[in-house]
Copies of this chain bind each other. A is one copy, B any other.
């Protein structure tokens, strides 16, 4: 039982570190079991060292650093159980423009293998998209899709 856990944990852990290092260049992060000998008796901590900083437990990070770490963790979980379609709603809050650009670039990259649909309010994600749907609500409270922009090959 612990073996199955450790197998999955290792996969997620490797993916998480790789993804975090891409989203936070110069930084690194890892998943740390509170109880490595009896993992199921402890929790799972995230230790991150953003570029130029000392190791921080995830709760000691800034708001945006926490958001970036959470997104990296979610992406790592997705890599372990890949799907052909990903549907994500506003995963970009709290991220500064540079972190957001790297998340958008990663979404773009992985969308080449897995169809990805994202709802967003932010430009860098919109610009990374191959296709754009604009939604609008009319005076009667009814939603309409108002624009479809096929951006061709990017």
Contact = CB atoms under 8 A, between A and B. Distances in A.
Contacts of A152: none
Interface class of chain A by DSSP: loop
Interface in A73-102: 90, 93-97
A52 B138 contact: yes
A63 B119 CA distance: 12
A141 interface: yes
A140 B96 CA distance: 21
A154 interface: no
Interface string A5-48: 00000000000000000000000000000000000000000000
Nearest to A92: B93
A137 interface: yes
Most buried by B among A51, A63, A96, A121: A121
Contact of A140 (B52, B95, B138): B52
Interface residues of A, number: 18
A121 B97 contact: yes
A112 interface: no
A1 interface: no
Contact of A52 (B54, B93, B97, B139): B139
A71 B139 CA distance: 24
In the complex, the 7 A-B pairs of residues with the closest C-beta atoms, listed nearest first: A52-B139, A93-B93, A53-B141, A96-B121, A52-B141, A93-B94, A54-B141
